[in-house]
Structure 1
Amino acid sequence: MIELKNINVVFNVKNTKVYAVKDVNLKINRGEVFGIVGLSGAGKSTLVRTINLLQKPTSGKVIIDGKDITHLKGELLRKIRLNIGMIFQHFNLISGKTVYKNVEFVLKANNYPKNKRKQKVEELLKLVSLEDKAKAYPANLSGGQKQRVGIARALANNPQVLLCDEATSALDLENTEEILNLLKRINKKYGITIVFITHEMEVAKTFFNRMAVMSSGKIVEINDVYSIFANPKAKVTKSLINKNLNIELSPGIEKLIQVGELVKLYFKGDRSIDPLISDVSKKFNVNLSIIHGKIDYINDKPLGILIVNITGDKEEIEKAKLYMKENVSGIEENYNLQKEVNPIE
């Protein structure tokens, strides 16, 4: 549905060329939810705005549904943009217009038949569950409600592509979940291709089919979401994943563990739910204490981390660790709890 070929975006800052986007090649499939993640300044927003040419690339090609749109202007570009909806971080609503008028405004701007506007606006407000807010003004809405108005407005022209620029970063957890669930329903019902940029890895875990990771204007990694979380390749990806999966422990917990050895275990896929701790206790003369752990489910597949303290005879501990190595996806021996207690350090 979307193909970006050798995209570069260069700005001149004090007579110096700054690459906001550098040599990006990307293909996004029809009907998928594709995420672009990275730290602030990575180039995510600049890249996503090249898709509808709000940001003209310095070089490269933007191809939508098989058509090169890179050099389109005027009426031809406007027609292409009608097929690409966009929602923003800060909603961009017209404060002096009601919810109804905010949505109708888009229809008016695109010469939607006047006698059909009322029905269309009502359909869109029903889709985003805001029928009862038609006469309300943006100032009287919650953040989640404002973003739902933004979604209704973005869908007014029946687009095939929906671009979401940090669409949940201004929302609390409850409203974020609400907006993501709404977008999932829209994607499933209408088959709209969604491109969603964010720095929030929780959003990536629960919402994307595939994702690209950006750093310093470049895409450093592309894969399905589970593969990226389970086996990150690039340094920046590992950092983002580790922060998201980090286990926070109370200060002082390490002082309570005076004997034995700490081991951190990593579980992936179906083996995440195997009774490993029980098996080790039965097979070897060791005692296992679970210090902390968590399991995430990404696209319905488990990914887990467990920190355990092993005590007993040294030889038996080594046998137990060898058995665990053979039955988990990764193991970190002689684990330093201080990393979890003081993760910033």
Structure 2
Amino acid sequence: MSAHPAPPVWWYDAGREPPPVARLLAALYGGATGLRRAAYRRGLLRPRRAGVPVLVVGNLVAGGSGKTPLTIALVERLRAAGWNPGVATRGYGRDDPAQPLWVDAQTDPLRGGDEPVLIARRTGARVRADRDRAAAARALAAAGCDIVVCDDGLQHYRLARDLEIEVVDAVRRYGNGRLLPAGPLREPAARAARCDFRVVNGVAGDLPPGFGEWPMRLVAERALPLLGGRPQPLAAFAGQRVHAVAGIGNPERFFAMLRALGIAVVPHAFADHHRYDGADFEFGSDLPVLMTEKDAVKCTAFVGERHFSVPIRAEVPEAFWIALLDRVPGRPGARA
């Protein structure tokens, strides 16, 4: 099974010092990744262009921050503006990660990865899963896409990009500010200054001007029965106890979202990209089960009529979309 385990306690607890071995490994990791960045910066290694504009959505920390909901929203906005977007992604958790794969709504999540399948189902866009995101972007361009959105590719310097969007968790931010594995950072926090946009997930209302950040809110309004049937408003579960299932980078964000709607949550947190089986849902009480969409795509084979998927929608200010679309090079249908 390929899944991200829960982060070490010291990542987000300023009162806990990382163990010496973690600090040593962080120094080695920082040196190796720093050399790689310098090689691209000095032209010793050259990024590959896709032949169409490329927008990268990513983060500096390991784990979830809301990249996939923003990627879905970005694809929808680009299509509304006349573009034909495709999505390049690594596809964590795939059975054969070395094999590039076209992913669509019917792809088995074990083959295509939970997030790529979710993106394909929600957007209907062409989705290419490949560890080499530059090769994925080129395949999308060859298939007729006139713009590529790369989901989680900020550190994949092999792929030339036109715009970078960093997604930050408003509560966790950069944790203790240390590099992996002493902290959650994949790159030094100073790297954020080179991103074109910084979107902060979990901020309510507009941020004061001058921070260079755009607030994002994840909105959940409906519960979809996994075995089919009429969607229910989440408000219908207010005042009820439910089992809440989340195998994402930050499960507590999902649980808090449900609690804010007045739902009494019995939480069940799993590792990111967890592979479920029927035993995972033996909770000992017959309550409704609400789970994230990312989890639900993997669970239709062993759930019942009281299991629901909760779709998430990313909301950012309209000014963000205006600013972003103004920065996208070229025009729909044009080739670089």
Q: TM-score, normalised by structure 1?
A: 0.25
Q: Point out the structure with the larger strand share.
A: 1
- Larger proportion of helix: 1
- Of structures 1 and 2, the one scoring higher in RCO (CA 8 A, sep 6+) is 2
Q: Which has the larger radius of gyration?
A: 1
Provide the TM-score with structure 2 as the length reference: 0.25
